[in-house]
Amino acid sequence: MSASSPPEPSPTTNRVIRKVAILFAGGPAPAANAVISTAAASFLRNGIEVVGILHGYSHLVEFGPDHPMQEGRDVLTITNRTLRRTRNSRGILIGTARTNPGKSVNSPADLADPAKTAPLKTIHDALSSLNVDALVSIGGDDTLKTANKFQKFQRYLPADARRIAVVHVPKTIDNDYSGIDFTFGYFTAVDTLAREILNLLADAEATRCYYLVETMGRSAGWLAYGAAIAGEASLVLSVEDIVGKYRAEETYEDPKTGETKTRPVMNINEVVKWVVAAMRTRDRDGKPFGVIVLAEGLAELLPSEMLKGISRDDHGHISISQVNLGKTFAKLVANEYRNQTGKDRKVNGLQLGYEARCAQPHAFDVMLGSQLGVGAYRALVERGLDGVMVSVSGQLDLTYVDFDKLVDPETLVTKVRFIEKDSDFQKLARFLETQVQY
């Protein structure tokens, strides 16, 4: 079909898609523009209009009589000229934000509550005002959660209301997505962080010190492990490692219900001893230096006393940058090392990660992102799908995963993919790091 030909109905449904909105939400990731560019180009090539929703849901939730959708402020009409040489570019063509219009919807029953779904209704009204027939959502697990809620919310609309099909493209440098092996931007982020770790390792050797590096990876340790393997780190620790003697529980009072509940926390003393054991092993091997990698998600397992005053975002996540896990642990590790050896060893805490989110994307991430972008077009137009996540398997073969397989049907929360205990990937990291001698 040429770009001037009118859109035709999907071969598997009677839906005709004339206009598509593309939205990106959550943290940036390398190759974001590969997804946006190839998705938009696919639609444009087939006579379908494309608009980019600027800065996630932040403008859509403001829609109303006094705030209509405005070109350049809220939306961007995407043309072939807009897309020129963008596939390999840094950043995000349409910006991003973390606004969560579905934060009051926590169960299927909430989808029938007009008060709780009011922000989702505003989103629908805003997109309808643009005459949008389909939404391509690009983002992490929280954005998938929102896409699922928005898609299901439309079932409660009047019969004559516009139905907007929804497909989602998985994005996270954390690589903790169910339904796909690797997310775009992951390998670029790993390489960027690994290069910094290698620089720090050279510095540590020259000055006989340690760097305790906090990397991104809120829920799982894929990024921390990958960066540690490629960066030749001395030790890596993530949430998956907080088991056995390294795990404890604390009781707390639920601020909403007043009930007494329990939550898992780190046994900080044992975790610190683990790090110091690695340092002492390296001392015995004649290597009084190194880089220890911590996944930022460990901050969620700190005792409540250490999280007082830390703010949370619309999705309920703590502001990890305010915790400064690396510096906190650096002090604890330095003190424990002195207690055990009677000697001082300088331990520097650093946060790494933001510099990886908009790094120049690697060829693999550009290819992966491009295929996922094309997959959004194929899902909506060629397959007539709705409520699916675009995925790949094998040699970038496209697959489509139903939202219901990725989201808990009772809580509407997405399922995180952790590093499996004793998997070959975890064993690789453990084999290559310092063999701790207790």
Q: Does residue 10 carry a pLDDT above 90?
A: no
Distance CA 143, CA 147 (A): 6
- Mean pLDDT score of the chain, rounded to an integer? 92
Distance CA 70, CA 221 (A): 41
Answer for the pair 293, 233: CB distance below 8 angstroms, yes or no.
yes
* CATH entry, 186-358+419-432, from 3.40.50.1820, 3.90.580.10, 3.40.50.460, 3.30.2350.10: 3.40.50.460
Taking only the tens place, the pLDDT of each residue in 255-301 is: 777 788 888 999 999 999 999 999 999 999 999 999 999 999 898 88
What would the CATH number be for the domain defined by 19-182+361-405? 3.40.50.450
pLDDT of res. 308: 73
Taking only the tens place, the pLDDT of each residue in 95-140 is: 999 999 999 999 999 999 999 999 999 999 999 999 999 999 999 9
Q: Based on the number of CB atoms within 10 Å of its own CB, is 314 exposed (0-12), middle (13-18) or buried (19 or more)? A: middle
- The better pLDDT of the pair 253, 11 is held by 253
Would the CATH topology of 19-182+361-405 be identical to that of 186-358+419-432? yes
Beta strand residue intervals within 174-246, DSSP E: 210-215, 235-237
Task: Locate the domains of the chain by residue range.
Answer: 19-182+361-405, 186-358+419-432
pLDDT of res. 1: 41
**β-bridge partners, 318:** 312
